[in-house]
Structure 1
Amino acid sequence: MARAASTRERSGTPWLWVLIVAAVFTQSGLNLLRPVTSYKLLAFGADSVAVGVATAAYAIIPLAVAIALGRLSDRMLRLRVLLAVGAATLGLAGVGLALAPNLWGVIAASAVLGFGHLAFTIAGQSAIARYSSPRQLDVGFGWFTAAYSVGQLIGPFLGGLIVGSAHGDGRLGAVQTALWVGAAIAAAGTLLFVAPLPGSPRDRRTEVEIAPGPPDDAGEAPAEGEANAAAGHAASGGDVQAPPGGAVPGAPEGRPTVLKIMRRPGVPAAMLAALSLLSMLDILTAFLPVVGEELGIDPGVIGTLLAIRALASIICRAVLPWMVGRVGRTLLMLSCLFGSGATLALPPLALAWWPGGPGIAVATVFLVIGGFFLGIGQPLTMTLISQSVPGAWRGSALAVRLMGNRLGQVLMPLLAGLVAAPWGPAGAIWMTCALLVVSGAASAADAGRR
């Protein structure tokens, strides 16, 4: 039995690697578009409050439709359709950002960009939660979020390279070029889902049984009986397919609701952790360019700093399974929240106190450490939430997680813009660091109760 399960896990992953490659394309485009959008806003004469509003717009549509998309993903026979829609929407939003003539055009395109990202992310996370055995959840989510980190590395670096040190009218022209490049890269992810993977049985509906299992702080593999018996069949084909009618054998009656999901032990703390971690990424991406502009630092340098942060997250996720086995999820989660909150408050200070090379070097060190801590959190929150709900609820639970993230992505940039008005753009970053520390305290309290 164990050997058969191992064979399934090794052979049943072509769909995962296609998903990973597509995620690299979409997230590279997305993470080129978002920081470059800040430079376009600055070229329009926008202030920190306007940057906060445009950043919040990115999450407005996802906040309204996250639950509906999660339920749709639970019922869909072929998740690759939703993946393709997400990638194509990201590309179209990039075109909208390039063509936007003013602040309101940027806000509208940012909202569409957020919907595309939500659709792709829900479909990808649902595929991993549905077809990965409990022992493979950390690996699947780890690779998926590592792909996002690769995009977070490539996108800002490429954007900074294109915008470079251009100023005046030349700056706006370089920004426009970068936005078109970002749109093309994001849209390229659609091509991977045009047809099923080679050898896919198109008309096959695979029944899957997924047991949530208890949280595994020790990192031990769950019992063989908890494995998804049909994961190999589903994954070795091209289409990621749902069970007939979207049902999962042995699932509890009744559809999942936000209230039911949030009442599951461990879910609220994991939701707050996910919200604070993603808010940190958003605020860094939107406001570190504003910090750099205020201090006279070239966009190429800021893009490199953001890319270095992402590289540290990639390194972290490459060793995440080992860390889970050695340390356990609870301690890793607390380390990530407290560690990132402490270290990421320091780069703006370093850049301001030591102008030029010394400040950039010190900021790089703290971004590496903070990026490593940030990289721990997102896959762990996905695993903890997936294992805290019944198997049939996983797509919806991950959608609730994304809805919480989007709520944070609406509120936090708005608050950040208000804080940045008196305190400067660095104040927005410090406020989000404080949220990370609060989230760490909440996770510690939850762990103590459990």
Structure 2
Amino acid sequence: MGSRGRQVREGRSPRWLLPLLAVGVLAQTALHLSRPLVTYRVIGLGGDAFAVGLVTAAFAVLPLVVALPLGRLTDRLRGLGLLLAGGLLFSAGGTLLMSTTGSLAALAASSAVLGLGQLVVMFAGQGVIARWSDDDQLDRFFGFFTAAVAVGQLFGPLLVGALLGDAAGADLVAASRTAFWVAAGIALLPLPLVVLIALRTPRAPRRPAGAAPPPVESTAQLLRHRGVGAGMFASLALLSTVDILTAYLPLIGERRGISPAVVGVLLGLRAAATISSRLLLGVMLRWRSREQLIVLSAAGSAVVLAVVPVAGIGVGGMAAALVVGGFLLGVGQPLTMSSLALAVPDNARSSVLGLRMVANRVGQVAVPGLAGVVAASAGAAGAWWLSCAVLGVAALVSRRAAPSSPG
């Protein structure tokens, strides 16, 4: 355990936890206000389902390049406050750029800047937890952090409905511009909280002069640890499914005559279910092992979410499927974080989380990109079912990688 856990004793939460959770809520509210807006802005600029897929994939391009070096940097930094603040500034900047774009290419580039900012925010937040939590608290604290993320995923889509209403055509472009400004403002709100986090987390001790840095494991070495590859694929599948859901539910809704406000409510219901599952992780871990819950998360959500695009299901049926699927989706993501952090040495935790981010961004590029191709011929429903198939494969991979004994 070492010094990482010295802030938490006798069941008390560390002083940095609540400010960090608040940062997660606000940053993700801004993100999930912006992401559906991107889809509506593509529609307003004359784009189709294929264009939605490409712009969605662009969100992950810069993070794909910098995630692993950023993870290694995080392992070496003595404090993570400046990193967290920089991510918030990039997020706000990318969102502001989106409000001024008049072409699909510029919108994709702005989406890439937003993606970089969100990567840095999530990296710094996860780094604080991985560095300053006891091993037996990782599941709980990662669960709280990802629940905070899900709160943002709840508020963001609801704001989309409130800000866009029933706007269409040229009105939709103008309304989305104003909504992007709101998103940028929300992204900047957590900056004072970053100061609190920096003050409440101890800085890592300096190495003695002339002392050699601890050995750094290569990517190949990290991947050789048991369960690392399977955990990364499960994380990739779960995260890319949320992206597909966010990007293509507005298209499915438009085809069925469902207004943006109702689509926002549906996305919000999914996020609320995800929040509840992450807050109940401690209870569920007393029922099944971490590995079993990851398999259940991927397989169960694949089956339940597959019914959403089925013709004739109605708004009520869509809502029910999104609630159950959202609950199951929420279980796996924090557990992949803790399982990866525990699978490697202490001084490689941010590095393996960085490798996980690379895998996530590969998924966020490849799955929406492929979904765009599928949607061009099979429509939004085909793209949706593709993500369900990826979840099914993740469940099989995780099942094979799980140890024979629970825990």
The corresponding residue for 2:204 is: 242
The corresponding residue for 1:428 is: 383
Cα distance, 1:190 vs. partner?
2.1
SS of residue in 1 equivalent to 2:309: helix
Cα distance, 1:287 vs. partner?
1.0
Cα distance, 1:196 vs. partner?
4.1
Contact 2:62 2:115 in 1 (8 A): yes
For the pair 1:415 / 2:377, whether they are aligned, the reply is no
Task: Give the aligned CA root-mean-square deviation in angstroms.
Answer: 2.2
Contact 2:8 2:133 in 1 (8 A): no
- What aligned pairs does 1:69-84 form with structure 2 within 5 A after superposition? 69-84=70-85
Which residue, 289, 308, 316 being the options, matches 2:250? 289
Structure 1: distance between partners of 2:213 and 2:140: 27
Q: Which amino acid aligns with 1:66?
A: A
Which residue, 341, 344, 347 being the options, matches 1:386? 341
Q: Which amino acid aligns with 1:375?
A: G
TM-score normalised by structure 1 residue count: 0.85
Structure 2: distance between partners of 1:443 and 1:6: 33
Cα distance, 1:333 vs. partner?
1.1
**Structure 1 residue ranges without an equivalent (≥5):** 201-236
Which residue, 225, 231, 234 being the options, matches 1:264? 225
Structure 2: distance between partners of 1:190 and 1:9: 30
Cα distance, 1:294 vs. partner?
2.0
The corresponding residue for 2:319 is: 364
Contact 1:252 1:390 in 2 (8 A): no
Q: Which amino acid aligns with 1:244?
A: R
Contact 2:231 2:339 in 1 (8 A): yes
Structure 1: distance between partners of 2:8 and 2:219: 37
The corresponding residue for 2:291 is: 330
Structure 2: distance between partners of 1:6 and 1:171: 49
Closer, same or farther in 2 for the Cα pair 1:406/1:276, shift >3 Å? same
For the pair 1:46 / 2:7, whether they are aligned, the reply is no
Contact 1:75 1:245 in 2 (8 A): no
Structure 2: distance between partners of 1:347 and 1:324: 29
Structure 1: distance between partners of 2:321 and 2:202: 40
The corresponding residue for 1:438 is: 393
Structure 1: distance between partners of 2:403 and 2:89: 44
SS of residue in 2 equivalent to 1:337: helix
Cα distance, 1:295 vs. partner?
2.0
Contact 2:8 2:14 in 1 (8 A): no
Q: Which amino acid aligns with 1:417?
A: G
Cα distance, 1:62 vs. partner?
0.5
Q: Which amino acid aligns with 1:391?
A: D
The corresponding residue for 2:116 is: 115
Identity %: 42
Contact 1:63 1:403 in 2 (8 A): yes
Closer, same or farther in 2 for the Cα pair 1:80/1:427, shift >3 Å? same
Cα distance, 1:270 vs. partner?
0.4
Q: Which amino acid aligns with 2:357?
A: L
Structure 1: distance between partners of 2:7 and 2:163: 45
The corresponding residue for 2:301 is: 340
Structure 2: distance between partners of 1:437 and 1:240: 42
Contact 2:163 2:175 in 1 (8 A): yes
Moved more, 8-17 or 124-133: 8-17
Cα distance, 1:78 vs. partner?
1.6
Contact 1:15 1:240 in 2 (8 A): no
Contact 1:28 1:151 in 2 (8 A): yes
The corresponding residue for 2:271 is: 310
- What aligned pairs does 1:153-172 form with structure 2 within 5 A after superposition? 153-172=154-173
Structure 2: distance between partners of 1:11 and 1:448: 32
Q: Which amino acid aligns with 2:312?
A: W
Structure 1: distance between partners of 2:203 and 2:55: 36
Structure 1: distance between partners of 2:335 and 2:146: 10
Structure 2: distance between partners of 1:89 and 1:8: 36
For the pair 1:400 / 2:355, whether they are aligned, the reply is yes
Which residue, 392, 396, 402 being the options, matches 1:447? 402
SS of residue in 2 equivalent to 1:353: coil
Q: Which amino acid aligns with 1:405?
A: N
The corresponding residue for 1:207 is: none
Structure 2: distance between partners of 1:39 and 1:245: 51
**Structure 2 residue ranges without an equivalent (≥5):** none
- What aligned pairs does 1:120-159 form with structure 2 within 5 A after superposition? 120-159=121-160
Cα distance, 1:191 vs. partner?
2.8
